[in-house]
Amino acid sequence: MFEQALYGIARPLIGVYGRLLRLNVLQHASLPDGPKIIVANHPTTSDPFLVAYVTHEPAHMLIMGRIFDIPLFGAYLRHCGHIPVVDGDGRRAFNSAETHLRDGGTLIIFPEGNLSPLEGSFETPRSGAARLALMTGVPVVPMGISLSPRGLWTPKGEIKDTPVNIRFAKRGPYGLTVGHPLRYEGDVEDRDYVRIVATRMMQHVMELAQESRERLEASRFPIPELWPATPKPVITA
């Protein structure tokens, strides 16, 4: 109940933020009902809020454990049910994520694990989302994000004397494209196959990010510099 109340309070605020950023969303398909995994690229620290806004329902996220140490904000994350990923204790986060999916919840994962490279390319995906998809059989919804790096605010941040990479979107447009739901089957114990699934999943995200870029470039007021800033690489697996 408390989680639903927090969601009800936060959603209108994020909506105002989205309008300020000129949030530009295109959906190729409706989000499926029931449990699902949403995967997206991660160019900015703002992405979790905006991806959650587009889902139109409460969703739990896997978030770096150190973020939960931020006063007040960390408490807010816990009360919302988000899942801390603590260095050296990834199994606990994975088990919590699996339980949330089996209970019928929606999970948001950024497969890159960290913010995308500053030049606008992509990190190699981690395997957590692929493993969860294979274990639970829930659909995976890829989303691709593009925006101009000129619209970023990059304050210096520290948590317990440890530098933290922060990159907020302060000026739009911010493009987000929602792809068709995907389903994966196979042996979750086959590490090579899990890597293939993770790679294919990320390929969909990258293609949607490129589509977001092209849509913003073709807009009435095209932006000369957008992410992804480099041609999307071809992944073979």
pLDDT in tens, 161-180: 678 888 999 999 999 999 99
Q: Which residues make Cβ contacts (< 8 Å) with residue 25, sequence separation at least 6?
A: 54, 175, 176, 177, 178
Q: 45 is written with which tokens? A: 């620290």
Q: What number of H helices and E strands is found in the chain?
A: 6, 11
CA gap 35, 82 in Å, rounded: 15
Q: Per-residue pLDDT tens for 128-137? A: 999 999 999 9
CB 35, CB 106: distance < 8 Å: yes
Q: What is the pLDDT of residue 231?
A: 56
Q: What is the pLDDT of residue 10?
A: 86
With 0.75 as the threshold, say if the pTM is over it.
yes
* 2-217: in CATH 2.40.128: no
Q: What is the pLDDT of residue 74?
A: 78
What residue ranges of the chain have pLDDT lower than 50? 234, 236-237
